[in-house]
């Protein structure tokens, strides 16, 4: 079974790859807009900067190629762990009737079926990461254009000076970052959040596919779904019952059919659905089980909700930390010493508050 703590450690380098890519793009925009020998804010300035779009795109495609290689390496490392570090097979020996299978359990992961599942997952995930990278470049180009237009309008109208207009726009960009994905309702997801969401989802989907194959090999129709504090609870945004992960975690289900004792796995957990088991941002796992196996007692609903809210708060802290880091980089490029001093002071206060929150709640960065 996947160890969430270990998986988080494996994911960090991949998330860092995309954080670095995002920062490089922001710094590139800041440096381009901070370097000009003509009349800044004039029509000529605007036209000159428009002509740089081609170079901006070309340079960042080269940057993309560099980061793509790093991404593919990390993806393969993460998914190999997710694919192989599932429930240990030895515990199934007493329940295996097939003597050949019992004596060759170690060959399960070497089978052609499992290797195909793993390799397909790696290919699909790399395609998803390529799409995220492309989206990041498109978002960077769009933001660059928005800054140009906004700065030209503000300076030509006399409302702001060139420096003021550029600083305001770049501060906003550093604070918000680039868009990694956009939901149907128009809500935008940051680059880092998109990467984290998609690699976690792919890791758990891969482990799930292998577990289903394992259940088939073992000849059991039962699976146990794991549980953890902080599982998704019902909110005003909940549309389907399976989206409330707390309700179905920690229980045994039937893969085919259902009865008075066991609900159907797919119907109850929403496995294979966007917001169901092993869907977006889900950290639950499941594994083959047998009648009579002992499983942990169900977790307390109140403690689960407390943990859920703490995790949401921690994610907000992490977003603020990245935002401050980007803003300091931009202020440094612009040579804005006053802003840099303010941001340094804000970072110090932020760290004090964040460290206190972590200590009080027994959490780690």
pLDDT at 270: 97
Q: Tell me the longest C-alpha to C-alpha distance in the chain.
A: 84
pLDDT at 104: 62
DSSP-derived secondary structure for 41-55: TSHHHHHHHHHTHHH
- Residue 176 token pair: 């918000």
Q: Which of 196, 145, 152 is nearest to 44 (CA)?
A: 152
Q: DSSP letter for 34, please.
A: T
- Let me know the angle formed at the C-alpha of 212 by 206 and 218, rounded to the nearest 5 degrees: 135
What is the rounded distance in angstroms from the CA atom of residue 279 to the CA atom of residue 198? 9
pLDDT at 87: 47
Q: Is 18 exposed, middle or buried (0-12, 13-18, 19+ CB in 10 A)?
A: buried
In sign, the C-alpha dihedral spanning 131, 128, 278, 2 is negative
Contact present, 75 and 199 (Cβ < 8 Å): yes
pLDDT at 73: 87
Could you tell me which residues come within 8 angstroms of residue 183 by beta carbon, excluding any fewer than 6 positions away?
189
What is the rounded distance in angstroms from the CA atom of residue 349 to the CA atom of residue 255? 52
SS (H, E, C) 333-361: HHCCHHHHHHHHHHHHHHHHHHHHHHHHC
Between strands 286-289 and 252-254, the pairing is unpaired
Strand, helix or coil for residue 318: helix
- Residue 54 token pair: 């081609």
Q: Which of 178, 164, 147, 128 is nearest to 25 (CA)?
A: 178
Query: What pLDDT tens digit does each residue of the chain (365 aa) get?
Result: 667 778 888 888 888 888 888 888 888 888 877 765 555 556 676 777 777 777 777 777 777 777 888 888 889 888 888 877 654 666 777 766 666 555 566 667 677 888 888 889 999 998 888 888 888 888 888 888 888 888 878 887 787 887 788 888 888 888 888 877 766 666 777 888 888 888 988 988 998 998 898 888 888 999 999 999 999 999 888 999 999 999 999 999 999 999 999 999 999 999 999 899 999 889 899 999 998 889 999 999 999 999 989 988 998 998 899 899 999 999 888 888 999 999 999 999 999 999 999 999 888 77
């Amino acid at each position: 079974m996947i160890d969430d703590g270990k998986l988080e450690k494996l994911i960090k380098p991949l998330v860092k790859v995309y954080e670095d890519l995002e920062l490089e793009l922001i710094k590139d925009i800041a440096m381009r807009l901070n370097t000009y020998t003509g009349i800044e804010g004039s029509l000529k300035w605007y036209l000159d900067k428009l002509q740089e779009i081609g170079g901006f795109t070309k340079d960042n495609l080269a940057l993309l190629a560099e980061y793509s290689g790093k991404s593919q390496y990390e993806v393969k490392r993460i998914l190999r762990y997710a694919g192989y570090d599932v429930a240990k097979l030895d515990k199934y020996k007493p329940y295996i009737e097939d003597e050949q299978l019992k004596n060759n359990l170690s060959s399960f992961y070497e089978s052609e079926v499992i290797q195909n599942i793993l390799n397909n997952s790696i290919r699909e995930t790399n395609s998803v990461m390529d799409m995220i990278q492309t989206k990041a470049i498109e978002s960077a180009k769009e933001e660059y254009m928005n800054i140009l237009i906004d700065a030209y309008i503000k300076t030509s109208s006399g409302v702001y000076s060139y420096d003021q207009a550029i600083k305001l726009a770049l501060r906003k960009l550093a604070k918000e970052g680039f868009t990694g994905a956009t939901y149907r309702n128009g809500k935008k997801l940051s680059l880092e959040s998109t990467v984290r969401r998609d690699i976690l989802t792919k890791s758990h989907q891969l482990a799930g596919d292998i577990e289903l194959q394992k259940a088939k090999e073992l000849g059991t129709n039962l699976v146990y779904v794991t549980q953890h504090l902080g599982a998704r609870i019902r909110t005003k945004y909940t549309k389907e019952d399976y989206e409330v992960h707390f309700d179905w975690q920690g229980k045994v289900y039937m893969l085919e059919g259902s009865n008075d004792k066991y609900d159907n796995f797919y119907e109850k957990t929403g496995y294979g659905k966007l917001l169901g088991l092993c869907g977006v941002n889900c950290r639950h796992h499941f594994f083959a089980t047998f009648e009579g196996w002992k499983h942990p007692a169900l977790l307390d609903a109140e403690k689960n909700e407390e943990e859920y809210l703490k995790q949401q708060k921690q994610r907000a802290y992490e977003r603020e930390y990245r935002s401050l880091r980007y803003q300091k980089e931009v202020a440094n490029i612009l040579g804005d010493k006053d802003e840099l001093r303010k941001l340094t002071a804000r970072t110090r206060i932020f760290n004090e508050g964040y460290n206190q929150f972590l200590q009080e709640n027994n959490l780690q960065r």
